Amino acid sequence: MGLKTFKGGVHPKDGKDLSKAKPIKELLPEGELVFPLSQHIGAPASPIVAVGDKVLKGQKIAEAGGFVSSPVYSSVSGEVKAIEPRRVAVGDMVNSIIIESDGNFTEVEYDEADDVTKLSREEIIDRIKEAGIVGMGGAGFPTHVKLSPKEPDKIDYIIANCAECEPYLTSDYRRMVEEPEKLVEGMKIILQLFPNAKGVFGVEDNKPDCIEKLSALVSAEPRMEVCPLMTKYPQGGERQLIYAVTGRSINSRMLPADAGCIVDNVETMVAVYNAVKFGRPLINRIFTVTGDAVCEPRNFYISIGCSYRQLLDAAGGLVAPAQKMIAGGPMMGFALFSLDVPTTKTTSALLCMTKDEASLYETTACINCGRCVEACPENLVPSRLADYAEHKDMATFEKWYGLECVECGSCSFVCPARRPLAQSVKTMKKQVLAEKRKKA
Amino acid sequence: MSDLLNVTSSPHVRDKWDTQKIMGLVVISLLPASIFGICNFGVRALIMILVTIASCVASEWIYEKIVHKKSTISDLSAVVTGLLLALNLPHTLPYWMAALGGVFAIVVVKMLFGGLGQNFMNPALGARCFLLISFTGPMTSFAFDGTTGPTPLALLKSGFPVNTMDMLLGRTAGTIGETSVIALIIGAVILILTGVIDLRIPGSYIISFAVFVLLFGGHGMDMNYLVAQLCGGGLMLGAFFMATDYVTSPITPSGKIIYGIILGVLTGIFRIFGASAEGVSYAIIFGNLLVPLIERVTVPRAFGIAREKKEADHE
């Protein structure tokens, strides 16, 4: 039997060798840290500190702005310098709290739980919510909302997304190699919430050491198992992962819970463990600085809120001029226009490349080769969708299932005519959804 | 560090395959058949190939010069068209007719419809049919070993026996590139292994044609007849290299299979019930016209939609 996977997908150069052997190193931030109030899907958090206030590391500085929202904590001790809109990595201006570190990292006392197994469902969810945990793989969906489905008894799969299918990224890999027990503990806590669920760690087979370590750890856990997956992008896409592990397929109008699944990535599960066991808020994460333009590619244990520039400096700066810098991986990351933007709960990497392949090639005419169709994990026809997008033909775009696009970028990657297919489809998707909201 | 960074939408990396590489590989995969054709029919075949390629590339270059468009000859698609056209011509055809075919293929069939990717008909086949209608005599006169004679399929149609081993090897009369099944299969394997084409179109084409011949060929289970039908008349050249032309075949996976079946049935009808012994070119050209319709009825259902539909039916 072959390895579990999904239909479609691509095999970009993985680039993980640059940083995969580098142990996680703690990086203490200096100077000014920026905490955007919107690092998640949902209502922005509202500040509960004022300019001039002294704050401690681990102190709450903004309260959740609703149920689908998440609080924000300071990752350093120091003084609130300003509360003002700041530019973030994706280009938006977001209201942010700016804190000048005093360099002491004086930390608040956390409320540790003596016995996690004695905590009630509500207590666990509340501790996760209070800690400000959101999906740290990139989506930023508040985790306490995800863990509160309408019918918890119907959830039969908790899937840890250990695929890390984005090229170059190694933060989840390092976490699994160095601290796999924390991940397993996080899974244990989530399984406590769902009595009928099985915990599955979905790991791509390019990480045999992780599969080995996790397998050893879960051998004593009757409710957990490790599921090796074929190494293929986007194996870690939520819908693709669910399909590979369970054989169930969901579409854009369904939640994983509709198929009895809940998916959380590695860092999120570790954060759940830290929050529920130790009462620690989400103020740190693992972060990869890599790319052929980086002097010393590294994996850092960072304080969320420090700037990308500090991280690049800590990795020895650039060895060669970088043509492109990306927040995240090369397939779905955001191109940065400046390094003076803050890291957030959802950013996992800084990738600096000497060559920008995306603008290297000229776009030519579509030859109808169908490579995008073969690559699309959602079984779409990207080249046609891009045509409909260019002609602003919303009806046909929807009829050809344009709204099902998961924006993985596989179509643009394979296109021999170098057409920006994913970009066209993404833009059109936004327009169609906006139009629908207007009508509703 | 430069302050000017490139900012583009994701993804930020690209695959190594581009149009030029794909077209280059198609040319390479046609080399076995071309070389065999040259050995089989002599130097005239080589000149014919060079004439059609030159005519196609020059037509594209001059047309784009005249209408002030950027030259696209470097994508090699005109080379593929020229080579395919030559392989579809008898080596005895006057050179000027071959050159005219090249001009027709590029200017009329391809460029007037908007250039690469926009033509609805395979340019090389369009040109072949144009030449067949305009110059029926020279286009249907085949010579082998210095003597003029009928093609194996023409023999078969008149009820004469044919040597299928000669047809596999290609030691028969015919167009420059259609005779050697073995050389064509070598090229097809190259295309399949490198992922340039898949078996959906050629497979469904050949199988449906074989079934049609068995059912309606009037020779029952005569395997010799079936093999002769499969090896003759450019079926292999058409199935692997012309029907799979990206631009003029459906992009949807199930559409490709339907398209292949239509081609198989049409070829069968033309060959068995038509006046001519051959029918691949006309079948493919006719199939090209049906592509938009085939695509419309074969829009693939998106991932996760099928399940929802099934559940809705149950409720």
Question: Residue A291: inside a domain, yes or no?
Answer: yes
Of A16-20, A327-331, B7-11, B280-284, give the lowest mean pLDDT range. Answer: B7-11
In a domain? residue A141: yes
**Chain-chain contact of B12 with A331 (C-beta, under 8 angstroms):** yes
Final residue of a structural domain among A278, A311, A342: A278
Residue A125 belongs to a domain: yes
What ipTM does this complex have? Answer: 0.90
Confidence of residue B149 (pLDDT cuts 50, 70, 90): confident
Where residue A65 sits, what CATH number does that domain have? Answer: 3.10.20.600
Same domain, A179 and A229: yes
| B13 closest CB neighbour out of A12, A399, A401 | A12
Confidence of residue B2 (pLDDT cuts 50, 70, 90): very low
Instruction: Quote the number of domains for chain A.
Output: 3
Q: Mean pLDDT per segment of 10 residues, for chain A of length 440 residues?
A: 85 93 94 94 94 95 93 96 93 93 93 91 95 91 94 94 95 95 96 95 94 94 94 94 94 92 95 96 96 95 95 93 93 92 95 90 92 96 95 94 95 95 95 90
Best of A369, A397, A415 to substitute, by most chain B Cβ atoms within 10 angstroms, is A369
**A263 plus A148 within the same structural domain:** yes
Same structural domain, A84 and A49: yes
Q: Are A146 and A135 in contact (CB under 8 A)?
A: yes
* pLDDT for B307 beyond 80: no
State the Cα–Cα distance between residues A371 and A374, nearest whole angstrom: 5
| Final residue in a domain of this structure, among A254, A278, A302 | A278
Pair A117, A85 in one domain: no
Question: Residue A212: inside a domain, yes or no?
Answer: yes
Task: Read off the pLDDT of residues B80-129 as tens digits, 9 standing for 90 and up.
Answer: 999 999 999 999 999 999 999 999 999 999 999 999 999 999 999 999 99
C-alpha torsion sign, points A175, A176, A178, A181: positive
Total-model pTM: 0.92
- Asked if the structure places residue A366 within a domain, the reply is no
Asked if B5 reaches chain A (Cβ–Cβ under 8 Å), the answer is yes
Domain identity same for A127 and A270:
yes
Q: Say what the pLDDT of residue B278 is.
A: 81
Residue type, A99: I
Residue B110 burial by CB count (10 A; 0-12/13-18/19+): exposed, middle or buried? buried
Give the pLDDT confidence of B13-34 residue by residue, as tens digits.
999 999 999 999 999 999 999 9
Closest to A73 measured CA to CA, from A340, A274, A287, A326: A274
Residue A402 in any domain: the answer is yes
Question: Is A301 in a helix, a strand, or coil?
Answer: strand
Q: Specify whether A143 is located in the same domain as A172.
A: yes
Instruction: Give the minimum alpha-carbon distance from A125 to chain B in angstroms, rounded to a whole number.
Output: 30
Judged against a pLDDT cut of 60, whether residue B199 lies above it is answered with: yes
B1, B15, B17: residue with CB nearest A321: B1
A436 and chain B in contact, CB less than 8 A? no
Residue B241: is its pLDDT beyond 90?
yes
Shortest Cα–Cα distance, B171 to chain A (Å): 34
Q: Under an 8 A CB cutoff, do A370 and B251 touch? A: yes
Q: How far is A433 from chain B (nearest CA, A)?
A: 18
Tokens of B67: 């209408």
CA distances to B28, B82, B241, B249 from B52, in Å = 17, 5, 17, 23
Tell me the residue range of the domain where A62 lies.
Answer: 22-104+281-353
What CATH class has B19-297? Answer: mainly alpha
Regarding whether A330 and A208 lie in a shared domain, the answer is no
A224 and A154 housed in the same domain: yes
A32 and A132 inside one domain = no
Mutate to test the interface with A, among B4, B8, B12 (most CBs of A within 10 A): B12
Q: Is there a domain that residue A152 lies in?
A: yes
Contact A426, A332 (CB under 8 A): no
Q: Quick check: is A142 in a domain?
A: yes
Tell me which residues of chain A, numbers 308 to 337, contact chain B at a CB-CB cutoff of 8 Å.
317-318, 321-326, 330-337
Beta bridge partners of A351: A290, A326
User: In terms of domains, do A87 and A129 share one?
Assistant: no
Which pLDDT band holds residue B1 (cuts at 50, 70, 90)? very low
Q: Chain A to chain B, count of Cβ pairs less than 8 Å apart?
A: 182
Is the pLDDT assigned to residue B312 strictly greater than 70?
no
User: By C-alpha distance, which of A255, A288, A286 is closest to A271?
Assistant: A286
Same domain, A292 and A147: no
**Closest alpha carbon to B233 in B187, B284, B266, B271:** B271
Asked whether the bond before B11 is cis by omega within 30 degrees of 0, the reply is: yes
- Is the domain of A61 the same as that of A139? no
Tell me the residues of chain A between 368 and 397 that have a Cβ less than 8 Å away from chain B. Answer: 368-371, 373, 377-381, 383-384
